[in-house]
A and B are shown apart, each in its own frame.
Chain A
Amino acid sequence: MKKLIVAIFFVFPLLFVACDKSEDETPTATPYNLVIPEGLPPMNIPSTNPLTVEGVALGKRLFYDPILSGDNTQSCASCHLQEYGFTDPNQFSTGIDGIQGERNAMPLINLGWQTKFFWDGGANGMESQVMGPITNPIEMHETMANAVAKLNGHLEYPELFKAAFGSSQVTSQNIMRAIAQFERTLISGNSKYDQYMRGEVLLTAQELNGKALFEDMDKGDCVHCHSTGSTFSDFEFRNTGLDSIPVDEGRFRITLNESDKGKFKTPSLRNVELTGPYMHDGRFQTLLECVEHYNTGFHYSANLDPNLYFAVKGRMTQQEMEDIVAFLKTLTDMEFVNNPAFH
C-alpha cells in the first residue's frame, strides 16, 4: 500500500507537469486589425481561421517563398505579381517544368468576399484553394507532404508556425490557413471610383458617362454581373458567349451539369486596367476588345447568359465603349499595387 501511495505521488505530479507544458506551448497570437474600407461590405472570415498578425506575416512569407514548389524555384508570387493586381501579364503562366497552363492567372484582389475559387469554382474555400497551384503538375508541382516536410526541416519556419498557430509542427492545414490569412488582407478600396463614392474627388464627364453606360440595361449592361457598389462581381458562373462551342468547358468540369458548359466565374473588375490580358483564356489584350465582345462579338449557344441573349448586337457606339473603358480605369487603385504591406 505504501508503495502504491508512493507511485501515486510520482504519477500525479508528472500528469500535472505534462498538462502545464501543453498549455505553455499554445501562446495566443495577436489579433490582426483588418481595416475594411468604407463602401465595402463586412468580410466573412471563417471562425476556424481568424486573422492574426503572426498568421498574416507567415502567410505573406510563404506566398513569396519558392520553397513551396517542387524544385524551389517558383512561389505564388511568380504568377501573381502585385504590380499587375496580383496576376500574370502573360496570357498563360509557365510552371516549374516549363509547361504552360490553359487559363489566365486570376488576380488576387478582395478575395475575402468570394466563396469559390479558380475560374471554374473548383475550390470551395480560400484555404482549400491554396493546395491547387502548389500541387498542380503544370504549376508549382509539389506534394503537400513534401511541402510540409521541407518547412518542418527549415531553420525558421517551425518557430513562425508556432507563433501563428501555437504549434511548431508544420501541417498542410496551417500552410493553407496562413496563406489564406494573407490573401484576405489583399483589399483594394481606394481607387478613384472609391474616392468619388466617398465624395472626395470628381469623375470627368467621360468617366461619369461611362459609369452611366456601365449601368444602363440597354447599353453596357455590365452591372448585371459586375455589380457596381463595391465588389464588381456577382461571383456567379456565366457563359459570356466567348465561343459557340466552348473549348474549355469551365464550370462543367466541376459540376458535370450540361448547363454549366462554358461558364466561368465573374471576375471582379477592380484594378482591371492592370490585370490584362482578359477572359479565362487571356484572349483579349485591351479593355476595349472586352467591351466590344459584349457589344457585338459574343456567340450564341444554349448556355449563353440570358442577359446577353436579350442584348441587341451593336447597341453601343465606339464613343460609348470608350467611355465605359474610361470608367473602368477609375477602378485602378495605385495604393493597392504599391502597398508595402503586401510585398
Chain B
Amino acid sequence: MKQFALFLIVLCTIVISSCRKDLDTKCKSYTRVTVTNLLGAEQFHLDSTYTNAAGEDYRAYMLKYYLSHMALVNENGERVELYAHELIDQSVPSSLELGDVTIPDGHYTSLEFNLGVDSLHNHSGDQGGDLDPMYGMIWTWNTGYIFFKHEGYFSSSTSGTEQPLIYHYGTDRALAPISIPLELHADRNASVINLQFDLNKLYSNPNTIAFTGNNNHQSLSTSDIPWINALRANFPNAFSGSAFVFLQE
C-alpha cells in the first residue's frame, strides 16, 4: 500500500511538473457536473408530497429527463462540450453524477445545454449509451425521444380526488436551449459544477401550469402544443448552477 502511495505521488509529480515545464501549451483542469432535483429549498424526493404554484398537492413516482450537448462557455464565447447526451433519472443516483472531464484552463462564464435531444439524434432508436431505447424514453410508434417524463398523482382542485398525472414532453419543437451564468476559473484545478433543477419553477415561471384538467400530455397531439410551448418557456428558469474549485494544484 505504501509502495502504491509512493507510486501515485511520483506519478502525480511527473504529470504536474510536465505541465509546469511546458507553460506555452494549454494546461488542463478537471470538472464534473452534479445534478440535484429540488423543490424550492428542499431536495426533491420521489413519492413525497409537494404543492405546486397552482396550489395542488402532488407526488411523482418517476422523474427523468435528457440534458444534451452540455458545454462550458468561456469569456470569449468559446464552447467546451462536456457531455453529449445524459439521461437524468431521479431513481438512479449514479445518473445524477455526470462523469469527470478534462477542460482547457480558462475563465468560464456560463454553462449551456439543451433540455431534450437535438433533431439530429431525435429520430432514430438505433442508438446506444443514454439514448438506448431500453430506458423507455422514446416513443416507439413515432420515433422520437421523450425529453422529460414526470409521472405521478395530484389532488384535483375541482373534485379533491387524487388523479394520475402523465407528462411526456418531447418532439423537435420542445427542445429547450438553456444557458446559465456561473463563474469558473479553471487553472490546473479540479472543480464541481452543481446544476440544480427546481420542479416547482418548471410549473410556475413564468407560465403557471395547473394539473387539474391538464394532467395527461404526451406531446403527440395538436392539443399538446400550447402545453409544450409553456413548458419550453419555463425550462430555462427551472435550472440554476454554480461551480466551485475543490482541489487546486
Count residues on chain B whose CB falls below 8 Å from chain A CBs. Answer: 25
Q: A131 within 8 Å of B by Cβ?
A: yes
Q: A148 within 8 Å of B by Cβ?
A: yes
Interface residues of A in 131-167 (CB under 8 A from B): 131-132, 134-136, 143-145, 148
Q: B74 within 8 Å of A by Cβ?
A: no
A4 touches B126 (CB 8 A): no
| 8 Å CB contact of B134 from A120, A128, A148 | A148
A176 touches B10 (CB 8 A): no
Q: A172 within 8 Å of B by Cβ?
A: yes
Interface residues of B in 208-230 (CB under 8 A from A): 220-222, 225
B124 touches A128 (CB 8 A): yes
CB-CB < 8 A to B79: which residues of A?
none
Q: How far does the alpha carbon of A125 sit from the alpha carbon of B124 in the complex, in Å? A: 7
Q: How far does the alpha carbon of A256 sit from the alpha carbon of B220 in the complex, in Å? A: 8
Q: How far does the alpha carbon of A4 sit from the alpha carbon of B2 in the complex, in Å? A: 11
Instruction: Compute the total of residue contacts between A and B using a CB distance below 8 Å.
Output: 81
* Interface class of chain B by DSSP: loop
Q: A118 within 8 Å of B by Cβ?
A: yes
CB-CB < 8 A to B222: which residues of A?
256
* Interface class of chain A by DSSP: helix
A4 touches B10 (CB 8 A): yes
B133 touches A131 (CB 8 A): yes
Q: A7 within 8 Å of B by Cβ?
A: yes
Contact mask for chain B residues 116-152; partner A; CB cutoff 8 A; 1 contact, 0 none: 0000000111111000111110101111000000000
Q: Which residue of B lies closest to A149 (CB)?
A: B134
A124 touches B124 (CB 8 A): yes
Interface residues of A, Cβ cutoff 8 Å to B: 3-4, 6-7, 46, 48-49, 118, 120, 122-125, 127-128, 130-132, 134-136, 143-145, 148, 171-173, 176-177, 253-254, 256
**Given A3-B3, A136-B141, A144-B132, 12 further pairs, Cβ under 8 A:** A3-B6, A118-B141, A125-B126, A125-B143, A131-B133, A131-B140, A134-B140, A171-B132, A173-B127, A173-B133, A253-B220, A256-B222
